[in-house]
Structure 1
Amino acid sequence: MPHASQLLDLGSRRLWRLTGRRVDLQGAERWLDAPVSASPRVGEEWAAAEAARHGGVTGEPGPHAGLLPSMAVLDGPGFDAARLRPEVRDFYECTTQWHMEVWTGWSPLFWPAGEVVSRLWGRRVEQLALPMRPLEVARGMDSRITPILDRQGEQVAAAWTRTLRGSGRPVFSGAYSARTLPGADRASVHVAFPLESGNVQVFLRPEVTTDGGLLLSSQSGRFGDDGAYIVVADRKVHAARVPLHESFHVHVDPDGVLRTDHELRLGRASAVRLHYKLERRP
């Protein structure tokens, strides 16, 4: 007899197959081709499998490993990485060097649903386990960056694993890269969170603010626009765009401290806000 958790996972994948559309990851929807987990519990082995898929290996998580090899990979009409504050660029290009303190605040309307998702999926599969209570992040987050290299040794993505410092519990494990959507005039920041037989993906459009900060956002749109997608790869591949929208504002405050305001919305309603204080290690 299948375990209750297996039935839950199978049921959720069937739901997304029914509500999504058939996609061809080797053809027209290649932009949705992203890593998956080989097991229900998401560990770090997916990064090596993704590197092997590109004919390469994972690099050393050294002191200068970053989410992107250079912010210039996002350059295009309306975006010039040279206009960013040096601290903002350094965080994305040398992420390992930065220490994070986190505060979280849930909307009372969405907190019960977030708690259910966290208990039934997030903590069990060790993925997308958003902190539900302020004390869970009181001691901050630890992070580990593992470059994913192709056969030429070039970074095609970076695996970023974040854990709660107080408990060691995994929160996120995702592949970060730059990827251009169909018909787009420049690259978006692409984040893929592997799951068993699928993944959750987010495409975020970058903008430089007037003070040299970085704004990453996903708004309402059509299939193929910036936004959030769920991909289920079970014999045939299906994908659904979901009404989940995010914004990240990475900026330097008047005291010279690098901070990030992160908002996650369901439709137009704000579900959760997170605030990060980022400090460069000595």
Structure 2
Amino acid sequence: MPHVLDLASRTFWRLTGRRVDLDGAEHWLDAPVSSSARVGDEWIGAETARHGGAPGTPGTDAGLLPSMSCLDGPGFAADRLNPLVRDFYEHTSSWRMDVWSGWSPVFWPAGEAVSRLWGRRIEQLALPMRPLDVAHGMDSHVTPVRDREGVHVASAWTRTLCDSGRTVFSGAYSARTLPGADRPSVHVAFPLESGNVQVFLRPGITADGGLVLESPRGRFGEDGAYVVVRGASAHAARVPLHETFHVYVDALGVLRTDHELRVWGASALRLHYRLERTS
């Protein structure tokens, strides 16, 4: 039986969202879903089958994007990126992550409630609430999702805690162009039972070759965060969650990422990643 909290949240998003046609005008919101409350990684095989491909296996050198050049367009050229930044996105499985987290005291109670009631139970979007939660680092596995012709559709990235093996995030990463946009965005979809959370991140490059990914404020159909609920009909809502990722190489040649999550305009969570190539 579906959990009462999951039923309540899906009802809320149906009531507050808009009806969308995922096979038509809002095809840009078509993304994988989970068939069960605990997300795990079963959705990967189902998503591959949906595209007519064969089941994949985690790749030892697989990346979130097959090439950063798939984001090229006005204002973005992948060949301007620092080689380490580009290597991380094109060969993500070859990198290890150490993570530090810091919550705003104002948003910590809400974050703790979401983590306890949803994140840890469904093993999805389980944001670390305390620095020691991720003291032993994260493992990551990337599985390419391909269609029947072998064309790369997305990369499934699963991140687990090294000490417990518990899944923290599991999402599909790809490049996707929004309606009316002049170039692709990084699209991330986190499957949930009968729906998903999606984020469209607009890429930019700093003067020193760092990568900036942003999901700013905007209108429905622009870069940002969305919740999609599927059933007899599909509904989608834009949510006031905004993220910024800054991926850069520090003065000692170490690849790092600063990640900020904001609710409306207020900073709720900051994460810092130290990235190390393992092979």
Task: Find the aligned partners of 1:47 and 1:83 in 2 and give their Cα distance.
Answer: 32
* Alpha-carbon separation, structure 1, partners of 2:56 and 2:85: 23
* Sequence identity percentage: 73
User: Would you say the 8 A contact 2:197–2:227 is kept in 1?
Assistant: yes
Question: 2:67, 2:225 → 1: CA distance?
Answer: 24
1:88 correspondence with 2:77: no
Equivalent residue number for residue 41 of structure 2: 44
Matched residue, 1:14: 11
Partner of 2:167: 170
| More displaced 10-residue stretch of structure 1: 198-207 or 39-48 | 39-48
Report the equivalent of 1:113. Answer: 110
- Residue 151 (structure 1) aligned with residue 142 (structure 2): no
Q: CA deviation at 1:59?
A: 2.8
> What residue in structure 1 maps to residue 29 of structure 2?
32
For the residues of structure 2 that align with 1:268 and 1:166, how far apart are their CA atoms? Answer: 34
* Match in the other structure for 2:214: 217
Match of 1:179 among 172, 176, 179: 176
Is the 1:161–1:173 Cα contact (8 Å) retained in structure 2? yes
The amino acid of 1:272's aligned partner reads L
Question: Which 5+ residue runs of structure 1 have no aligned equivalent?
Answer: none
1:21-50 per-residue CA deviation (whole Å, 9 max, x = no partner) reads 000000000000000000011011101111
CA root-mean-square deviation:
0.9
Distance 1:143 1:182, change over 3 A: same
| 1:103 alignment partner, SS class | strand
In structure 2, give the amino acid aligned to 1:22: R
Q: In the aligned structure 2, how far is the partner of 1:71 from the partner of 1:186? A: 13
Whichever residue aligns with residue 16 of structure 1, its letter is: W
Query: Cα offset for 1:126?
Result: 0.4
Q: Does structure 2 conserve the Cα–Cα contact (< 8 Å) formed by 1:58 and 1:147?
A: no
Q: What CA distance in whole angstroms lies between the structure 1 residues aligned with 2:29 and 2:54?
A: 21
Which amino acid in the other structure matches residue 209 of structure 2? G
CA contact (8 A) 1:162 1:170 kept: yes
Which position in structure 1 is the counterpart of 2:194? 197
Query: What is the alpha-carbon distance in structure 1 between the residues aligned to residue 260 and residue 148 of structure 2?
Result: 37
Among residues 42, 45, 65, which one is paired with 1:68 in the alignment? Answer: 65
> Retained in 2: the 8 A contact 1:231–1:237?
yes
State whether structure 2 residue 248 is matched by structure 1 residue 251.
yes
Separation in 2 of the partners of 1:240 and 1:169? 29
Give secondary structure in 2 for the equivalent of 1:234.
coil
CA distance, structure 2, for counterparts of residue 60 and residue 54 of structure 1 = 16
Distance across 1 between alignment mates of 2:56 and 2:79: 27
CA distance in structure 2 between the partners assigned to 1:45 and 1:194 by the alignment: 10
Looking at structure 2, the residues matched to 130 and 274 of structure 1 have their Cα atoms a distance apart, in angstroms, of 10
- Classify the secondary structure of the residue corresponding to 2:234: strand
* Counterpart code for 2:186: V
Which structure 2 residue ranges, 5 or more long, are not aligned? none
Provide the rounded CA distance (Å) in 2 between the counterparts of 1:92 and 1:265: 24
Cα distance in structure 2, aligned partners of 1:54 and 1:154: 10
Deviations 1:34-78 (Å, cap 9, x if unpaired)? 000000110111011111111112433222200000000000011
